């Protein structure tokens, strides 16, 4: 180990060298003590002025460095806040784009209301479907007229321009505009959309798929202000049918309408079931009923709703019936069947709110219930035949909409129900709807196999409170005829009725003939139509 020769050093040199060694060890703490007012560490009486000056310069340099670092941190914090705001806005835009690509579904929970509130009052660029008030229309924009039926879903609405099913040319309507204008599902609206500019719809995002409605012109033929004052369908008072829908026409060879007028008369607001087994002539009877209604009652708006039907029968119905035919063939998914039925009945309700008389022919109620059983979410409660308990409520809501309104307007629904199909599900569905109607026309497979048409089971068919629809004299004769046919079997009764109808030209002539040739029986004619 080497030893340094310090014999030749002076006292001042040894003191300076010791002070430098101590300064290296305590330099960091010395600057901190100097900032707090603490003195430098004692190094003895021989500490020189040069060493103290160096420590002061180091202290001042450290303070300036800390000031610069603090300023940089403050700038970074301010810039970081701005960057976080931009990132949050970008994330909101990304979430909005993702929701649009998934069909417009919003995230559950609190984000649904938050995202909806943030979109209001904000003008976005491009074909964003945020709302009618959010779309900018310039003077050089070209507006194209559109018209269709409004279909309101959970978080958005569409104007169906190509019928009652969703299509590529549908027009988007925001819920804000729906509430502002008081629109309802099933309204026939007209308005305008902005024609896309050149190159505007060349992107790949889903939000560019549908044009948005930028102007609302009419609602059901009225101005939006007038349409806002209309009553609600659920608040209208239902009554028994009072005005009769006569099916008898000038063609005396068509016996089906005349048989129905006698056996099961139909009134405005009737809720009727046509109970038919397969191959019993159900479709032909419904076509004749539709043509008779349009011929004798031109003021009635006729709608024929075909659900899960064969395509050739849809074409035949469109060419035969003089009315609005709304169809969904059996090759479509069950969700399309339910969409068509719901939008059709909502359209009928909107017409009834305006005081019109609407007749809806549904073929068939059984197939509509099957479609709801497939499309509706499972409730976990299964009835016999594999029918979900919750799947029967929407068809009941459809069928239960039929009613006669107190101060004008009516909704008549005649729906067919399938029986004797060999399916337990069809039996359960029919039993659920059996007591809901106030008119029933039952067809017989036995008569149809013998080629007796119309294959109407006379004794099993009838109308509730038919005394309201028939006059007092007509009711007495019908009761006499019922007593005679009640004593006969199914085939003899319809053959007797058809044979007498062929001999006469009108039902009035037939009833007069029955009155002359049929005894009154044991019942007192004075009590006919009275409540005993």
Q: How far is CA 448 from its chain centroid?
A: 40
- Confirm whether residue 235 is marked as ligand binding: no
- Cβ atoms of 274 and 285 within 8 Å: the answer is yes
Taking CB atoms within 8 Å and a gap of at least 24, the contacts of 422-428 are 423/385, 424/384, 424/385, 424/386, 425/370, 425/373, 425/385, 425/386, 425/387, 426/366, 426/385, 427/385, 428/383, 428/384, 428/385, 428/387
- Cβ atoms of 153 and 210 within 8 Å: the answer is no
- Confirm whether residue 434 is marked as ligand binding: no
- Confirm whether residue 355 is marked as ligand binding: no
- Confirm whether residue 281 is marked as ligand binding: yes
Q: How many CA atoms lie within 13 A of 81 on its CB side?
A: 5
For 493, residues 6+ apart whose C-beta sits below 8 A from its C-beta are 458, 459, 485, 486
Please spell the DSSP secondary structure of 130-166, one letter per residue: S-GGGS---TTPPEEEEEEEEEE-SS-EEEESSSSS-
- Confirm whether residue 271 is marked as ligand binding: yes
- Confirm whether residue 73 is marked as ligand binding: no
- Cβ atoms of 383 and 235 within 8 Å: the answer is no
- Confirm whether residue 267 is marked as ligand binding: yes
- Confirm whether residue 500 is marked as ligand binding: no
- Confirm whether residue 215 is marked as ligand binding: no
- Confirm whether residue 199 is marked as ligand binding: no
User: Where are the strands (E) in 29-156, listed by range?
Assistant: 143-152
- Confirm whether residue 180 is marked as ligand binding: no
For 118, residues 6+ apart whose C-beta sits below 8 A from its C-beta are 92
Q: Directed axis angle between helix 49-101 and helix 27-35, to 10°?
A: 80
- Confirm whether residue 503 is marked as ligand binding: no
In whole angstroms, give the CA distance from residue 461 to residue 452: 16
Location of structure tokens 């009711």: 475
CA–CA–CA angle 410, 327, 308 (5° rounding): 110
**Number of other residues whose CB lies within 10 A of the CB of residue 332:** 16
- Confirm whether residue 424 is marked as ligand binding: no
Binding residues: 267-272, 279-284, 310
Binding residues for ATP: 267-272, 279-284, 310
């Amino acid at each position: 180990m080497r030893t340094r020769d310090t014999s030749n050093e002076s006292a001042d040199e040894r003191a300076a060298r010791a002070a430098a060694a101590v300064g290296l060890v305590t330099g960091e703490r010395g600057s901190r003590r100097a900032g707090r007012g603490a003195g430098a560490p004692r190094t003895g009486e021989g500490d020189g002025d040069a060493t103290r000056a160096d420590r002061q310069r180091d202290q001042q340099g450290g303070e300036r460095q800390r000031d610069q670092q603090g300023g940089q941190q403050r700038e970074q914090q301010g810039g970081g806040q701005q960057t976080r705001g931009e990132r949050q806005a970008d994330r909101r835009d990304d979430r909005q784009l993702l929701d649009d690509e998934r069909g417009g579904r919003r995230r559950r929970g609190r984000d649904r209301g938050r995202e909806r509130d943030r979109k209001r009052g904000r003008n976005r660029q491009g074909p964003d479907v945020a709302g009618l008030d959010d779309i900018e229309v310039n003077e050089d924009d070209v507006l194209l007229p559109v018209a269709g039926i409004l279909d309101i879903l959970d978080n958005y609405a569409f104007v169906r321009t190509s019928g009652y099913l969703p299509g590529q040319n549908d027009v988007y309507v925001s819920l804000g505009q729906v509430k502002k204008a008081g629109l309802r599902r099933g309204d026939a609206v007209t308005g305008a959309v902005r024609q896309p500019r050149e190159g505007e719809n060349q992107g790949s995002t889903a939000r560019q798929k549908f044009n948005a409605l930028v102007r609302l012109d009419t609602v059901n033929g009225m101005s939006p202000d007038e349409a806002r004052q209309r009553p609600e369908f659920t608040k209208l008072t239902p009554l028994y049918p009072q005005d009769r829908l006569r099916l008898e026409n000038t063609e005396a060879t068509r016996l089906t309408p005349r048989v129905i007028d006698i056996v099961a008369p139909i009134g405005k607001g009737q809720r009727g079931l046509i109970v038919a087994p397969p191959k019993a002539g159900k479709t032909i009877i419904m076509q004749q009923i539709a043509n008779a209604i349009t011929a004798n009652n031109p003021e009635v708006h006729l709608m024929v709703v075909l659900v899960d039907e064969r395509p050739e029968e849809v074409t035949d119905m469109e060419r035969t019936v003089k009315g609005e035919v709304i169809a969904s063939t059996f090759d479509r998914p069950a969700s399309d069947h339910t969409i068509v039925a719901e939008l059709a009945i909502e359209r009928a309700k909107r017409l009834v709110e305006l005081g019109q008389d609407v007749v809806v022919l549904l073929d068939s109620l059984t197939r509509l219930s099957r479609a709801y059983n497939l499309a509706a979410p499972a409730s976990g409660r299964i009835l016999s035949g594999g029918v979900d308990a919750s799947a029967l409520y929407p068809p009941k809501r459809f069928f239960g909409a039929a009613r006669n309104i107190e101060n004008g307007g009516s909704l008549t629904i005649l729906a067919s129900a399938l029986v004797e199909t060999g399916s337990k599900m069809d039996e359960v569905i029919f039993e659920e709807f059996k007591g809901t109607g106030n008119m029933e026309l039952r067809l017989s497979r036995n008569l149809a196999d013998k080629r007796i048409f119309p294959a109407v089971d006379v004794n099993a068919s009838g109308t509730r409170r038919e005394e309201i629809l028939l006059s007092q004299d007509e009711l007495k004769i019908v009761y006499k005829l019922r007593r005679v046919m009640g004593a006969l079997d199914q085939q003899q009764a319809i053959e007797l009725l058809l044979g007498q109808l062929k001999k006469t030209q009108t039902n009035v002539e037939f009833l007069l003939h029955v009155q002359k040739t049929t005894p009154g029986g044991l019942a007192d004619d004075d009590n006919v139509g009275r409540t005993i």
